[in-house]
Structures are given as C-alpha cells and as structure tokens.
Amino acid sequence: MGRDPNHPQGIYSGNMSSLVGVVLLVLAVLTPSQAFVPIGGGTSTHVTITGTALLEKVTETCRAVAEEAGYEFKPTGSSPEELVKACLGPTAKGEVSGAKFHSALQEIYTQNGLVDRDFVNSAPHHFNSEAFFEGRGLITQGLVAIKANIRETNFKAARETLGRVLHTLQDFYSHSNWVELGNTEPYINLMRPDLPLDNLADVDTATCSDCASGTCPNPVLPNILTEKKLTSGYMGIHSSTKPKGKCSHGGPTDMTSSVIPRGGISKDERRSDNRNFHDAAVKAATAASSQLLEDIRVVVGNNDFLRMMGIARASVLCFVIDTTGSMSDDINEARSVVYKIIDSKKGTQDEPSEYILVPFNDPSFGPMIRTTDPDKMKAEISKLTASGGGDTPEMCLSGLQLALTGAPTSSQIYVFTDATAKDIALKDTIVALIRSTKSTVSFFMTGSSRRRRRSLRAASFEDYKDLALASGGQAIQVSKAQLPQATDIILDTSTSALVTVLQRARTGTQETFPFTLDESLQNVTIYITGTSVTFTLTNPAGLNQNQGQVSGELGSIQTVGNLWRIRLDPDKQAGNWTINIKSSQPFTLKITGQSTVTFIYDFVESFSGPHPGYAPLSGRPQAGQPAKMMLSVIGRNGPFSVTVKEVGLVLVSGPESTTSSTIEDMGSGEILVTIDAVPEGEFVITLKGTDKVSNSDFQRQSTTQMSVSKVQIQAVVDSSVEPGKDFTLPFSVITQGAGGLYTINAKNDRDFPMTFPNSLSLTTGEYTNATLTVTPPADTESGTDITLTIDAKSSTGADSNYVVLRMSVVTKITDFSPPQCKGITVVADDCPENVYMCAPYRWELSANLSDNNGTGIQSISLRQGNGILSHSSLTDPVVQVHYNASCCSQIVEFATVDTVGNVGSCYHSIVRSGSPPALRLSLLLWLCLLISVFTVKL
C-alpha cells in the first residue's frame, strides 16, 4: 500500500508543552491498578499505560476537531475539566463538567483491571503459556465488537470491551519475550489476523535457562534470541505443570516458577534485574495501545470517538411518552418543551449531546429513537399522535426500560403519562437498572383516568413516586392544564454540570434541613413536592422567605400541582442555609445547582490473586460487612483543587444522621472510603469538603438510593453473542442469610428469548450454580447490545439482589483483510527544488483502491495533508482516488475503511533528498516529536 504497515497513522501536531500537558493530565486521572505492578520504584501499571494512550489520543482528536471547526484547541490546564472545555470549544457559554469524561476513563480502567479477577487463570487473556493465536483472537474479536458497538452508538459496551482488549494487548509485551528479542515497535500482527504470527516456539522447544534466584536479568536461551523465536511464560495458579524447558511467568503466585527452569520472564514488576526490559515493555505496550485506539478512531470518526470517551456538553435529552388516546395535551407539551430546549440552548454548553425518544402505548412500546440532530428530534416528536388505549394501565415501565438501557449512564429521563403501569412486574428490574446506570427519572403524571381498569394488580402512581425517589428524580402530579408550568423543571435539569446538594423524603413532619452552598454553584434551585406544605428558607445572613412570598429577598417561588420550585437569586450568599418544612402529608426536598465540583463513585469489593485489587459491585453491597466505595472527586481545576473532609451514608427517608467513615487517599483524587456501620434502609452518599479555588465549603450528594443485601449474584460475560446462536451464561447465587427457595427472574431489554431456572434452593454460605441461555434472532444487527438483569429474591421477599450485564451481538467476521492501495501515480514535476518557492505550484496523486473479495469500502478519509481529496463511487469494484495539493504540503496519507472496520492506508511523500537543510531539519524534528508521542514515559 505504498508504506510500512508499522508506520503510525496520523501525526501529533502539538508542541512540547502540549505533550507535557498530556502527561500531567494522565497523572490527574489515574486510579490504583494491578498488573504491571509498580514495585521497586516503578510507576507503570495497566492504568498508567492505558491512561497515557487514551489521553494522547483524546488530545489528538480534540485538536483535529478544533482545527476542522476553526477554533484553537488550547487547554488552560491539565485537568479533565479543562481538557473537555477546550475540546468543546471556547464560544459556547456555560459550565462544562469533566465528570462524564472521567467516568468513561474509569469504566475502561475498571474493565482493564477486572481481567485479572475474572480471567485470572485464562492463558489467552494474558498471553501466558504461549497462547498467541488465542490471545490475538481476543484482540481482533474485541476490535470488531468495539467498532460495531460504536456504529450503533452503544458506547458503554464499547468502553467495557475496550478495557478488556487493552489489558490483553498490553500483557503481550510484559509476558512474552518480544522486547528481549530487541523489538521496540508494537507487533502490528496482533491486530491483523490476515498477517501471520511468525516464528513461534513450538511446544517441544526449550525456551529458558534455570534461574535459581528467580531474578535473573534474561533467562531466555541464547538460541531462542538468535533465532528470534517468540515465546511467553507459563503461568500456574493451581498447578505447577508446564512443558519441559519452558519459561515461567514468575513470581510467588506462579507455581510453575519453582519447576526447572525456575524463575520467570514477566516484566510486570520493575526490579533492579529487569529495569531495562520492564521499561521497554511499557513503551511498547503504550505505543501498541495508542495504535489500537487510532485504528478505532479511523473507523468511527473523530466525533463518535469523543462521544465514546464521554466528551460531550450536557446530558442527553431523553423522553418516555405515553401515546394513548387521552395524552394529546401531554404530547403537545412535551413537543413544546423539546422545541424550547433545542432553540434556547443551541450553541451553549447546555445544548443536549443526544436526543432519545421512547413512545409507549398498550400493548406496544418503542422503538427507541436516538439522534444527535436537533431537527430530526423535532421531526420525530412532531410525528407522535395520541391513539388507542382503552383501560387504565399502559406499558410505561417497558418504555422506561428501553430508555434506561439505551441512554448513557447518569442521564436525566423524563416520563409523561396519565396512567398506571400495566407491566408493574418490571418494577424490580427498573430499580436495578436505575442503580446500575445512576440515571435520574422524573415523572409527569397528569391525574387519574376514568377508563375502565382491566387489571386487578395494585399498580398506582405511588409506584412512579417510588421509582423517582430511588433515582433522585421528581414525581410531579398535575392536571393537564397545569402541565406547561411544571415542565420548567426539565429546562432546569437538562443542563451541563448539574449537581445535587441535598435530597430528602419524609412521611409528614416538621423538620429543619441545613445545607451548604459554595461559591462555584450557579442556578441553585429548590424543589419541594407534596401537599399542605409550608416552609421557611433562611440564608447565612439570617434573611427569611416563606411559601407566601412569591418574589422575596432570596428568590422566586413557583407552585404548580404538588410541586414547589424556588429559584434562588444569582447574588446568593455562599455559606450555611436552612429550610424548615412542615406538612402532615409525605413530601420530598431536593436542592440542585450547576458546578464542576462533583464526584463519581462505585461500591467496591476487594479481590485476591496474582494482581489483587478492587472491583465495582454490580448489585447491592453485602449486609453484615463494611461498605467500601471508591470515589473520584473532581474540582474546578482537577482533583487537587478540592479537599475532602467527610464522606458518609445517610438515609433519605430516615432520621437525619450521617455515618462515620475511614478515608484513605489513593492519590490523584481517588479516595477509598470504608464505612463500618451501614444504615438499615435506603441510603445515599454525602460528601463535604472545601473548594480551594474559592476557599468555600461545599456539600454534594449522590442521587441514586442504595441498600445492602445478604444475597450475592456472580456472573461474567466473557465473549460476544452471535446472531441466531444460543449464548449460555453461567451464574452463581449465594446468601449469608436464611437458606431456602429463592425466586430467580431475568429480563433483557431486547425481549430476546431466554431460558433460566425460575427458582434456586440456596444453602447459607454456599454458592449454587445455574445457567441462563439467551438467543438473539438471526437477523439481529451486528453491534446491538443486550442489557440483561438477573435478580434473586427470598421466598418472603425480605431480601433480594441483582446483577446487570451487557452483551454485544456481533456477526462472525470472515473478512480480515484491509482495502489495498495500488497503482499510485504521482505528478510533481512542477514542484520546485527550493521549497521556499512552493506556494504557486501544485502536485497530484492518483491511486486505485480495492477491497478485493472483501465486504466493500465504506469510507475514505484524509489523515495527513492539506490538499483536496476526491474519489469515485464507493460501490465501484475499484475506487479511483485523486489528490491535489500545494507543493508546500509534501506528505499525504488517507485511510480506507471497509464495512467491517478493517483499515488500509495510502501514504506518499514528495520530499526530495536534496531538500534545503531547514526543511530536512523540520522534518527530523517532526519525526522526533512523533516518536516521543509513542514513547511517553511517566
């Protein structure tokens, strides 16, 4: 194709200060990691390697997007917030939060680390025991799934697979003898199944000499090095067996390392005896990770690559709308709100990054419509009409399930309905999805219907209130005439950088709620839902305002239906506030604002093994054990611009008391929190600290409620699912409570056929194994993801837990050959020898592109060069490409992607050997900078 396949695609066009900024940014977002263990003074782990590659590629992509859009990409600092703000552009007004970007990084890091827990004894996942073909298969299959997921906008599934694939790819350089063979560049064949894996040591070939101390500098046999044979260490966690003469992985957890030849070749740890090999492995693994990310980026494009990384303005705008016959007024109001948001927030940081619409009726629901085009959203919602129905309950929760599984995590979802839920059996599944996604669901309920009730199931609007409270949302009950006034809450909450200061629920009482506002907060709004409510709001200076003062000294008050909305004046005072609320009926209180000072969290559990660490819990934390959380605290200028003083758990609906906790600073904004006494009931996380930028105290609260359970479910998805084929998922259930019969329920958001046991008999403290089988139809589109929820409930219903899993449906790929670039013709005779005279002259290149007998060419994009690229129809068997550029732009590279994501490249340079010294020097400097990007050393 006119160039070396190892030649890196794309260039890093920033200066050295930008490169330093990338390194600093990596350091600002790291979390504890396991493999590539930082022992003996080393600092390289899977997270540092992954972080270096990700941040470099995100920076490069942001710069390319900025250049194309015509603005300068110039971060003011090295924090995620500052990178995101610079990436989204300087012209849009409003606060920008780095929380989604940070969350995306954490998801990738987490899945990377979980390979050491979930596949600890799998040789292919770690390139142990010479499992080269199998390891490459995991990488190439994973790449196919990632690209297919991104094409279907299933970004979370793509991130999870990416984390696992990067772990396996990186382990190749630590666990094989690639760097001992003198290689410094990545092994491109690991990403290209059409290329051979050459010169592998066979099973009968001895590869290592004996190392009694276990720390020999290079135990690989001289003939293996001379013959350039590729091998990797054998790893035995439960057995010491290995073929005769083979290298071991090494280390105290490898039982084969005590069998001659003893020792090992793993470069996970940086020791005095292997410092150079460890450093070389880190550099190669980092470059390989960047190479893999570039392959993905070329296929999916800059914008979708950034969306996968969580770099977007506001959250998505997600509506779930009842379209039965009585909903005409509600649909009209939802349409009006969408139009208002689109028109009022266009060009600001609060402009939604994506729009999602899920209609539901009876008995149908869906399809889910998603788009990044506001005009398309307007068109889709304008098509909604009210029809059908006939009895009161509708398929509301089925529609909400689609939204929760389709929208990104931490989304704001708004449900419009005037009826109870016919599919109330989904309520437990909805709660599990809310907790898993940390999304906030608000309901707009327009009164009770007079239609005949067909179902005797006791579904009511109270179910919606339960779900809203569980998610940290609102349940607003108004008449249809009042609905336009209530929807202002959507304008409030569909914003970037939304944070919750406080949320509480009470059954009827008088209580004073203290809260702290800090200088970073803007657009502070207080919501109270309930009837017969009176309240008095007091600011730090002692000024008061009550429910009777619609426009007072502290803010403006709006009331509609069961909702009170208090918008504080912009010149509010930072400090300690109180609000005293009295009502004989149940009420909720919620206080929100906009700020980049926030936190993200996961409940975690520790795991052991060769590379121990912490793994996020999918379900509820275990009862009777201390609760452990990993928090990432995000400040206005990164994690170091805040100080955390207190983290606790508090009951939303119980007595106002916060648990004490032990806080361990893990570095770079990561905090491990241990809480010994977990409250009984539904709780949320509270965090208090100081914003160093303004030296003001702040408080934040998680929105999603959580509780503990004595039941635990374990399940791991280890591969993608093929259309039309049964996929069997093993899972295990254990209880530390009373044994007996437990009900098993499983749901998937695609309604694909499934089989699983309806119940399991559990014995206290013992795992009970079972399997679930799901079968996607043969016509399921490649890239579709399945969100699967399994829950287990005791016979009394007193205890339950759940696990939420994502699986990708991927069509089996047989085309692994990239498109070919042939027949290159260059006309550059007019280009002068003296480069300083280049401006008036142009040169041309023509080439033929073909996918041979593959799936066909999907896209052609310019990667280097400032000229004009054109081509014939992509449906032609041979696509003719023409490039025309100034003689001042002497290098061209364009990438060709086929329909299954294989990437080919054409590269040509007209730089002449006789070019002036200044030009040769500039090219040399460019090459040095390019190399430095792929060898970033932390």
12-26, 120-134, 391-405: least confidently modelled range: 12-26
* pLDDT of 579 higher than 90: yes
User: Most confidently modeled of 15-24, 289-298, 633-642?
Assistant: 289-298
Q: What CATH number labels 598-707?
A: 2.60.40
- pLDDT in the model for residue 668: 66
Spatial neighbors of 758 by CB under 8 A, at least 6 apart, are 743, 744, 745
Beta pairing partners, 728 = 773
- pLDDT in the model for residue 927: 40
317-331, 383-397, 544-558, 908-922: least confidently modelled range: 908-922
The top-level CATH class assigned to 711-809 is mainly beta
- pLDDT in the model for residue 919: 44
Q: How confident is the model at residue 11 (pLDDT cuts 50, 70, 90)?
A: very low
- pLDDT in the model for residue 458: 59
Give the residue with greater pLDDT, 836 vs 279.
279
- pLDDT in the model for residue 345: 84
Q: Assign residue 70 a region: left if phi > 0, alpha if psi is -120 to 50, beta otherwise?
A: left
* pLDDT of 154 higher than 60: yes
Bridge pairing between strands 412-417 and 440-445: parallel
pLDDT-above-90 percentage for the chain: 67
What is the average per-residue pLDDT within 328-336?
A: 92
Instruction: Note the pLDDT tens digit of each residue in 766-794.
Output: 999 999 999 999 999 999 999 999 999 99
Q: How confident is the model at residue 932 (pLDDT cuts 50, 70, 90)?
A: very low
Give the residue with greater pLDDT, 520 vs 388.
520
* pLDDT of 910 higher than 80: yes
* pLDDT of 16 higher than 80: no
Q: How confident is the model at residue 816 (pLDDT cuts 50, 70, 90)?
A: confident
Instruction: Note the pLDDT tens digit of each residue in 249-272.
Output: 999 899 999 999 999 999 998 888
- pLDDT in the model for residue 82: 81
Measured distance CA(819)–CA(822) in Å, rounded: 10
The reply to whether domains 313-496 and 598-707 share a CATH topology is no
3-class SS shares of the chain: helix, strand, coil, % to 5: 25, 30, 40
* pLDDT of 504 higher than 90: yes
* pLDDT of 917 higher than 50: no
For the chain, the average pLDDT equals 87
Using an 8 Å Cβ cutoff, are 862 and 64 in contact? no
Q: What CATH number labels 820-909?
A: 2.60.40
Give the strand order in the sheet containing 498-506: 498-506, 587-594, 522-530, 563-568, 555-560
CA count, 13 A, side-chain hemisphere, 113: 27
Q: How confident is the model at residue 635 (pLDDT cuts 50, 70, 90)?
A: confident
What is the average per-residue pLDDT within 565-588?
A: 93
3-state secondary structure of 863: strand
- pLDDT in the model for residue 353: 85
Handedness of CA 149, 153, 157, 162 (dihedral sign): positive
pTM of the model: 0.87
* pLDDT of 928 higher than 50: no
- pLDDT in the model for residue 39: 38
Spatial neighbors of 448 by CB under 8 A, at least 6 apart, are 418, 461
- pLDDT in the model for residue 314: 67
Measured distance CA(290)–CA(282) in Å, rounded: 12
What is the average per-residue pLDDT within 472-495?
A: 90
Q: How confident is the model at residue 390 (pLDDT cuts 50, 70, 90)?
A: low
Domain boundaries, the chain: 46-194+271-309, 313-496, 498-595, 598-707, 711-809, 820-909
- pLDDT in the model for residue 125: 97
* pLDDT of 24 higher than 60: no
What is the average per-residue pLDDT within 340-369?
A: 88
95-104, 118-127, 342-351, 388-397: least confidently modelled range: 388-397
Instruction: Note the pLDDT tens digit of each residue in 87-128.
Output: 988 766 777 788 899 899 999 999 999 999 999 999 999 999
- pLDDT in the model for residue 571: 83
* pLDDT of 228 higher than 90: yes
Using an 8 Å Cβ cutoff, are 392 and 299 in contact? no
Q: What CATH number labels 498-595?
A: 2.60.120.380
- Burial state string for 242-260 with b = 16 or more CB within 10 A and e = fewer than 16: beebbbbbbbebbbbbebe
Nearest to 81 by CA among 68, 92, 60, 95: 95
Find out if CATH 3.40.50.410 is the number for domain 313-496: yes
- pLDDT in the model for residue 96: 79
CA angle, residues 456, 530, 702, in degrees to nearest 5: 95
- pLDDT in the model for residue 94: 73
711-715, 777-781, 824-828, 930-934: least confidently modelled range: 930-934
Q: How confident is the model at residue 44 (pLDDT cuts 50, 70, 90)?
A: confident
What is the average per-residue pLDDT within 493-498?
A: 86
Tokens of 655: 């007595």
Beta pairing partners, 649 = 685
